[in-house]
Every structure is written in structure tokens, then in C-alpha cells.
Structure 1
Amino acid sequence: MIEILTIETPGLGDRSYLAHDGRVALVVDPQRDIDRVLARAAEAGVVITHVFETHIHNDYVTGGLALARATGAAYLLNADDAVAFDRTGLHDGDVVTVSPEMAVRTLHTPGHTHTHLSYALLDAAGDPVAVFSGGSLLFGATGRPDLLGPDHTDTLVRAQWHSAHRLATELPGSATLHPTHGFGSFCSASATASGTAGTVGDETRTNPALTLDEEHYVHDLLAGLDAFPAYYAHMAPANSIGPDTPDLTPPATADPGELRRRIDTGEWVVDLRDGTAFAAGHVAGSVNIGLTGQFVTYLGWLIPWGTPVTLLGETPSQVADAQRELVRIGIDRLAAMATGVPADWTAAPVSFRRATFADLATERATGTGPAVLDVRRTAERADAAVHGSVHIPIHEILTRLDEVPSGTVWVHCAGGYRAGVVASLLHARGHDVVAIDDDFARAVAAGLTSTTARAAA
């Protein structure tokens, strides 16, 4: 009997898969830290013989080549992918026999990339029982078509519609769907469905790619595209070269003097604690990107690529968890680390205030109130915005610092996490900030917002 095990990477919104028949296994789209995959295979008592990639990934550094080398497995990807390592090249329609109980049929499904492949998992009778769809057909959405640049977007978005229809046409509705992206990944073209399991048949009833005609699908998808992380530009080149196994050895510990020197020379010292703890006391000049949120996405998006990174955490395990997330996007070596509390890292911790939207309403009731900075993405702001707020999306803040209002600035997002990140960046640069740690729905309830034309339509 075939079993499919899911290996989740929530920090990036991705999934990898291990499918086995009780003896041998195949793996699809493994993340960089392959020890997780090896552990799952060992727990199941199976040997990995094949490693498949659906595409040259743009949002993470793959562990595929390293896993194949570690296990002696065949490494399989599109024969048309230009890579600098030996692999088994696949073409549309190729069938790879993994064992007498399971095989894989290759389907060319361009859209997310030109050479994207999906893999239909076949049982002993040769019937498709599942499909690993990578960045093609997702739960309630499809992978975004614009990651290769504007010259490719129109071709890819139309190819994506046709690829979704190919999967729906050639596979039985009962085949289970196993996408790589779509669980918070910016590789998704739109918000995915809330479910995390389903079949091809389910998608034919709900997925816009399968319920809309081509022109409406193309129009709606392109209209909904928003920015994607800047670090994506470095992922495909790294994957084409052939990344090796990451080194997760802990970095050296830095004392307060070294932390100060690193900050003063422009390096990033990143505090992994939650926003409340950071605001109450932290090292002056450090940045707060809490490990409990989309840590790796926002660190990779904001940091000038190649800047040395030092991590501050409450415990060594917290730092180790962050280090593991960072190697997934190719930040392989940390400059240093320190653990404990702010008093262990500096003789003079600094702080700033955190507040709620009700607090902001109170401030405004006494007069014009403080300046408000909205760091949500453009699509989020399109429905409602705080009256008089300045809009600078989080990913643009470091290139638009001259647009930040003077005086005290109240920073908000949709829930508080991104506001805390931006407040820390501004505070490190000398701004007087208040981080709003609150749900944006409470801003609406407090009468602080104006409704946009889109929301009113």
C-alpha cells in the first residue's frame, strides 16, 4: 500500500513529500535541511531511491541534490533545465518505475516556470492515485507566473490555465492533490483555500483556474498579483548550480562589545524574541524579526543580501531553529550569536511603546493625533485604511526612509507582527515609534478607517 508523508515548512509556506510502499520511497521537492527527510524515511523503515523536483525553485534553496547524493538516489528534473550538475532528465510523458507497487508519470505543466513538471503517482495497476503539482495547481489557486520577469508573465499565466486544465482532464477526480506551494508561500498567485488536503475533483469545482474561462482567469490573476520577496532573485541561480548539505554548526558566541561593534559597522543583529519582549528592552540598533512569525521571509526580504547576520535568542535552541530556517534561503553562515536576556547583551537596553487601535483612537480624540504609518501590502490597503495614514509597505521601508513622518510615528499592519519589525528598524535609526500590536479589524470598529473605492464597489 502506498503512503504519502507530508513534511511541512510553515516558515516558507511550502511542503515536501515522501511517498513509499513500505520498502522504498521517492521524495518530491525536499527542502535544504534534508535531515528531516532522512528522519521520516528512517521512521518508516524505507530506503529513498528517487528524488524528484517539480521545478527550479524561486523561494528556497533545494535539498534535492544533497539528498540524492546522501542516499544514492536518482535525482530527476526536467531535461530542459539548465543546471551545472549530473541528473536524470525527464520529458513529458516519461514513466519512472520506483518499485513494483508504484511509478511516476511526468506531466509538463508550465505556468509557474516554463519547464515546470507535475508528477502523477501510479499504483501497481498503473492508475493515478495522487499528483505532486508543485507550483501548478494549488488548493484554490495556482502558482504565480511572474517570478521570471515581465517578459514571461503573459505567456506563463496562459500556460498556467492550460496546465491546470490538463491535470483536471488527464487525472481522475479521486487523485489526491499534493502541491509544494500555497500554505503561506509568496509563490502562490493568490490566497489559497483554507483546506490543506483535497483531490483533483475538488479543485474542478472551486479553483478559479478550472471554473473561469481563460480570459477571466488571466485578468483576475494578473490584477491580484502583489510584490514577492527580494531574496527570490538568488534562489534559482543557487538551485541551478547545485547546493550542497548545509552546515548547522552553531556560530561563535558574541559578547556585548562585539555585538556593539557589529551593529556600528552596519551588520544586522537580529533579535528573535516576540515583539512584546523586544519593545520592553533590547540592544540599541538591533532589529526584531520574531521567530514566531514569518521570520525567514521577512529577514530575507529586508536585509541587503550578503550582510552578516548575528542572532539573539532566549535559548540556544531558538537560535538553532532560526539558523535552520535561514539555510533554507541560502544564508549559510551566521556571523555570531548570543543567548539570554537584554541585560546579558548590553549595559543600556532601550525600549519603545506598544499600543492598540483603541489607544490610537484615544490619542486622536484629543486632537489631530500622531502620524500613522501603514506597512501592509498594497492589496491589503485597497479595502480600508486608517484616516490620514502614510503607506509604505514593509518591503519598501528601507528604500523610502525619507518618507517616514517626523516626530512620533505609530506603526501598524494587519495583526502586529510586521508593525513590530518596521518599528524596530525605525527605532534603530533614531525614530520615536509606537508599534500597534492589534488586529486591523479593531481599527475599523473604532472608526479610524476610510473605505476605499474597491471595498465600496
Structure 2
Amino acid sequence: MATIIAIDTPTLGDRSYLAHDGRVALVIDPQRDLDRVLAVAEEAGVSITHVFETHIHNDYVTGGLALARATGASYHVNAADDVAYERVPVRDGDTIEVSPSLTVRAIATPGHTFTHLSYALESDGEPIGVFTGGSLLFGATGRPDLLGPEHTHDLVRQQYASAHRLASELPEAAQVLPTHGFGSFCSAGSTGDTTASTIGQERRANPALTQDEERWVADTLAGLDAYPAYYAHMGPANLQGPGPADLSSPERADKAVLARRIAAGEWVVDLRTRTAFAAGHVAGTVNFGVDGQFATYVGWLIPWGSPLTLLGESPEQVAEAQRELVRIGVDRLAGAATGRPEDWTDGPLASFEQATFGDLAQVRHHRPVVVLDVRRASEYDASHIAEAVHIPIHELPSRLDDVPHGEVWVHCAAGYRASVAASLLAANGRHVVAIDDDFDEHAGASGLPLVAA
């Protein structure tokens, strides 16, 4: 019987998979930091002989080509993808024998991209699961708009048909094994907290399989929201054939170097938690905590190719952030420093307050403040604080002048994005308070007036 092991990348909301028969293994949609995949294979005592891509990825730089080259595995990519490297071309209906007991069947499932493939895994002739990439997800599907608005209406209908094809061709007990859907912006619709599913469960619960096509298409298109700007660079990189990640330590930046970079307006990113950053940080730095969706928001907010310097409590924290960044193709750092904020500057440390929605409700009785909501449009439309200024976090770097004058209380859904936004505002001389609180649980309960769609 085959063993399937999920390799999670929670900060990008993705999964890769290794499946084996106890001797040889196949890998689906590997991330670029290959040591994780190789460690799983070594622990299982298996050799990787086949690597498969479900599609040309939009949200990360693939490790597939580098993994195939490192292991000598065959690299399977859709024959219709115009790649710049040698691969084993795969087409709809192709069957690949991985071992006498493991077989993979390619199934064309366009919708997330035009050339998307899913791979049905058979063990001893029995279909046990299907690697669905960005096609059928847990309670949702992959979004159909990443190739541009001119293709969205064609792709969304193809996505619906692909979901139905998978549901009709595979047995109820077959596992659904998606790459996206664990917080990835590649999802269209909510996947909730589901961590496992089957074709039967999706038939009963997935809107793509329970709603009629017209309603599902309308709901899916209406629910699409902004996605990270760095996505535009992932497809071209993956078509060219990315090499292995370089995780060598960045050059050390001392106080003088950091001061020059901050004065020049370069991005100097503090990796510590939002609580630690608020309590004391180097003036002019910004906070993207490595404890959240670090790479997603760095890649979204920082102009592509900008010099980037990291500040961390330890070399291990910097290394973790560097690993996150190479997954989205940020290969070169300007430098890094470790330790405490006092080690990074000779000047006084900056700080700002953290607060709750209850604190905001009390303050508004005593003095006027600006409430800045940095959530996505869909979140704001669902419910927001009356008279709040709405600037989605990804728009804030170019819209700082749109934030009204005065004391700014900034919030998101849970606190991570609010800290990023507060750090940007503070670096630009604004008086800011970061709300570190859960909007859904506490905003209305605090007595703040909410406006719902």
C-alpha cells in the first residue's frame, strides 16, 4: 500500500507531497528548499524517481527542476507548457508507472491555468488519491483570474468542468490532495480549517459540485479579491527553470550600514514579533514578523528587486526568513544583523502603543482618532467599523498620504497586518496605535458601531 506524506508550507498556504511504496517515491509540486523533501525521503528510506508539476505555479518558485536534477528523477511537466528546459512531457490520459505497485494517471483539469493537470495515484491498481494542485481544493477551487482578466471567464467555466470531471472519474474514497488551499491566495472561496478530504466529501460539500454552474460562476467571480503583486514574477521564473535555493548566510550589516540604508529609504525589515517591535525598534525600520505570512506580505508590499536587509533576534531567525524568501524568488539579501535593537543603532529606540478594540471604543469617547482598516476589500465589505478609513495593506506603501492627519489606530483581522501597517506609518513620522486584537470576536462586542454589507 502506498504511503502519502504531506510537506506543509503554512506561510504560503501550500502543500507538497511525497508518495512511496517503501522503496521508490514520487514528489508533487515541491517547494524550492529541497532539504525538506530530501529529509522526508531519507527518513522513509526511499529513492525519489519521479517529480510532477500540476501546473506552472503563480505563488512560488518551484523546486521541481532542481529536485529532479539533484536526484536523477524524471521531471514531468505538461507538454503544452512552453518551458525552457528538458522535461518529460505529460498529456491528458498519460499513465506513468512509478513502480510495479504505483501508477500515476494524468488528468487535464484546466481552470487555475489552461494547462493544469491533476494526477490520480493508483496503488496495486486501486485509485487511492488524486493530487489536484490548484483545481479541486477542500471546499473550494483554485482561483481562475491569475492569468489576467481577459482569460478569467473562460477559466472559471473550465474550473467548474474540471471539478466535475474529477468527481465523476474517481471513487468516493479517493483522497483529495491539493497543493493550494491552506491560506494560499491561489484559492477561490474558503477552504476553512479542513486538513483532509475525499472525493465523496467534496461531492457533498464543495460548492463547485453542489451548485449549478451559473450560480457557482457568479459567486466565484464576485468573491475574487486582490492577490500578491509578486505573483507576476513566479510564472516566468518557473517557465525558465529555476535553480536550487542559495541559503548561504547574508553579509553582516553593522550600525553604520543600517543607518545609511534607512536614511536612503531602503527596506530594513525587523523579523521579531509585533509585540517586541512595538515595544522598541530602530526608527525607520518596518515589521514583518517571521511568525506570520512573512514571505507573502514582504513579496506583496516591497517593490520587486528592492534591496532588503533583515534584522533578527538570532541567526536562526534570519535563516528562517531567508528560507521563506527564496521560495518566492528573493535570492539576494543586501545584508542582515542579529541581536537586540540596541545592537543595531546608536540612536534612541522608537516605539508605539498596542491596544484592543475595547481600548478604541473607550478612546473615541474622549478624543478624535483616525481608524484605519487595512484588511482586504472583501473583509471590509463584510463588516467594518463605522467611519473607518479603508486602505488595504498592499496599497498602503503608495497611499500613505491618503491617511488622514492625526492619531491613527490601525487594525486588521487579527493583528499581523496591523503591525506591518503601523510600522510603515511610524517610519513616516505618524502617531500610530496598533490594534492587536481579533476583529470578528471583539470589534462588535466592544461596542464599536459596525457596518455590514
Q: TM (normalized to structure 1)?
A: 0.98
Question: After superposition, what is the alpha-carbon deviation per residue over 1:127-166, rounded to whole angstroms, capped at 9, x for unaligned?
Answer: 2111000000000000000000001000000000000000
Q: Is the 8 A contact 1:142 1:189 kept in 2?
A: yes
Are 1:380 and 2:379 an aligned pair?
Answer: yes
Are 1:337 and 2:317 an aligned pair?
Answer: no
User: Aligned partners of 2:168, 2:254: CA distance in 1, in Å?
Assistant: 61
The residue that corresponds to 2:323 in the other structure is: 324
The residue that corresponds to 2:18 in the other structure is: 18
Are 1:41 and 2:41 an aligned pair?
Answer: yes
User: Aligned partners of 2:382, 2:135: CA distance in 1, in Å?
Assistant: 28
For structure 2, list consecutive stretches of 5 or more residues without a partner in the other structure.
Answer: none
The residue that corresponds to 1:398 in the other structure is: 397
RMSD: 0.8
Amino acid at match of 2:386: H
User: Aligned partners of 1:55, 1:40: CA distance in 2, in Å?
Assistant: 23
Q: Is the 8 A contact 2:135 2:162 kept in 1?
A: yes
Any runs of at least 4 consecutive aligned residues in structure 1 with deviations exceeding 3 A, and if so which?
none
Amino acid at match of 1:446: S
Are 1:279 and 2:278 an aligned pair?
Answer: yes
Amino acid at match of 2:104: V
The residue that corresponds to 2:66 in the other structure is: 66
User: Aligned partners of 1:362, 1:94: CA distance in 2, in Å?
Assistant: 64
Q: Is the 8 A contact 2:77 2:89 kept in 1?
A: yes
Q: What is the CA distance between 1:442 and its match in structure 2?
A: 1.4
The residue that corresponds to 2:349 in the other structure is: 349
Amino acid at match of 2:50: H
Q: What is the CA distance between 1:449 and its match in structure 2?
A: 2.6
The 3-state SS of whatever aligns with 1:407 is coil
Are 1:201 and 2:200 an aligned pair?
Answer: yes
Q: What is the CA distance between 1:383 and its match in structure 2?
A: 2.3
Amino acid at match of 1:423: A
The residue that corresponds to 1:162 in the other structure is: 161
Once the two structures are superposed, the pairs formed by residues 139-158 of structure 1 within 5 Å of their partners are 139-158=138-157
Q: Is the 8 A contact 1:77 1:88 kept in 2?
A: yes
User: Aligned partners of 1:219, 1:53: CA distance in 2, in Å?
Assistant: 29
User: Aligned partners of 1:136, 1:169: CA distance in 2, in Å?
Assistant: 14
Q: Is the 8 A contact 1:251 1:336 kept in 2?
A: yes
Q: Is the 8 A contact 2:386 2:451 kept in 1?
A: no
The residue that corresponds to 1:214 in the other structure is: 213
User: Aligned partners of 2:221, 2:430: CA distance in 1, in Å?
Assistant: 37
The residue that corresponds to 1:76 in the other structure is: 76
User: Aligned partners of 2:187, 2:239: CA distance in 1, in Å?
Assistant: 22
The 3-state SS of whatever aligns with 1:11 is coil
User: Aligned partners of 1:23, 1:449: CA distance in 2, in Å?
Assistant: 61
The residue that corresponds to 2:6 in the other structure is: 6
Identical aligned pairs, as a percentage? 67
User: Aligned partners of 1:360, 1:223: CA distance in 2, in Å?
Assistant: 32
Q: What is the CA distance between 1:402 and its match in structure 2?
A: 1.8
Q: What is the CA distance between 1:267 and its match in structure 2?
A: 1.7
User: Aligned partners of 1:242, 1:107: CA distance in 2, in Å?
Assistant: 23
The residue that corresponds to 2:416 in the other structure is: 417
Q: What is the CA distance between 1:199 and its match in structure 2?
A: 0.6
Amino acid at match of 2:258: L
Question: After superposition, what is the alpha-carbon deviation per residue over 1:195-239, rounded to whole angstroms, capped at 9, x for unaligned?
Answer: 111111110000000000110110010011100000000000000
User: Aligned partners of 2:235, 2:32: CA distance in 1, in Å?
Assistant: 13
Question: After superposition, what is the alpha-carbon deviation per residue over 1:274-320, rounded to whole angstroms, capped at 9, x for unaligned?
Answer: 11110111111101000111111000000011011111111110110
User: Aligned partners of 2:325, 2:449: CA distance in 1, in Å?
Assistant: 37
Once the two structures are superposed, the pairs formed by residues 193-272 of structure 1 within 5 Å of their partners are 193-272=192-271
Number of aligned pairs? Answer: 451
The 3-state SS of whatever aligns with 1:445 is coil
The 3-state SS of whatever aligns with 1:128 is strand
Q: TM (normalized to structure 2)?
A: 0.98
Moved more, 266-275 or 65-74: 266-275
